[in-house]
Amino acid sequence: MTLQIGLVSVSDRASQGVYTDQGIPALREWLTSALTTPFEMHTRLIPDEQAEIESTLIELVDTTGCHLVLTTGGTGPALRDVTPDATLAVADREMPGFGEQMRQVSLKFVPTAILSRQVGVIRKQSLILNLPGQPKAIRETLEGLKDADGKTVVPGIFAAVPYCIQLLDGPYIETDAQVVAAFRPKSAIKPAPTV
């Protein structure tokens, strides 16, 4: 089965054409560099409206069949920031470690990272993750922080995504370890195909 990924950028102004959305291009670029497993992307650019966010997430999981849905934008404390609320509303289970780790990474850069309300949830057999809105922050939270020698100092959240999707009976996902090394227990690693 081919990995299906939903990308949702939540922004009033970008969805109205006031400025160009940067979230989906940043996610597309990062995923293309990080994943060695074939995948298909399904993109949505929508306003900060809770009902529309909820219906978009439901459509991507229930109808389109996405194994992974990444949202960007709308995770702060402002009244219009309702992405986490919409995500929790459609969730079957919460995965709090994802939000905790994203804030951990972002706190290395800005003290205002504690204002982020990003969440990770499971709906049916799909993982939905709220990411920050800025391209630099998207990359940092996904791949983590590395020192000058390229050694990971603070793991990014994507290291755990392939195994999570595997546990949800989704496709086996492999990554480029130079970008982000997928971690899974030895018992869950599939042997490389023999030529």
Q: Over the chain (195 residues), what is each successive 10-residue block's mean pLDDT? A: 96 88 96 98 97 98 98 96 98 98 94 96 98 94 91 93 98 95 93 72
Q: Is residue 116 part of a domain?
A: yes
Q: What pLDDT was estimated at residue 194?
A: 67
Q: Is residue 195 part of a domain?
A: no
Q: Is residue 193 part of a domain?
A: no
Q: Is residue 94 part of a domain?
A: yes
Question: What is d(CA 70, CA 86) in angstroms, rounded to the nearest whole number?
Answer: 13
Total domains present in the chain: 1
For 74, the enclosing helix (H) or strand (E) is none
Q: Is residue 137 part of a domain?
A: yes
Q: Domain containing 98: what range? A: 3-188
CB 97 within 8 A of CB 162: no
Q: What pLDDT was estimated at residue 195?
A: 63
Q: Is residue 194 part of a domain?
A: no
Residue closest to 54 by CA, chosen among 84, 93, 87: 87
Q: Is residue 23 part of a domain?
A: yes
Q: What pLDDT was estimated at residue 49?
A: 96
Q: Coil, strand, or helix at residue 62?
A: helix
We report the CATH number of the domain holding residue 164 as: 3.40.980.10
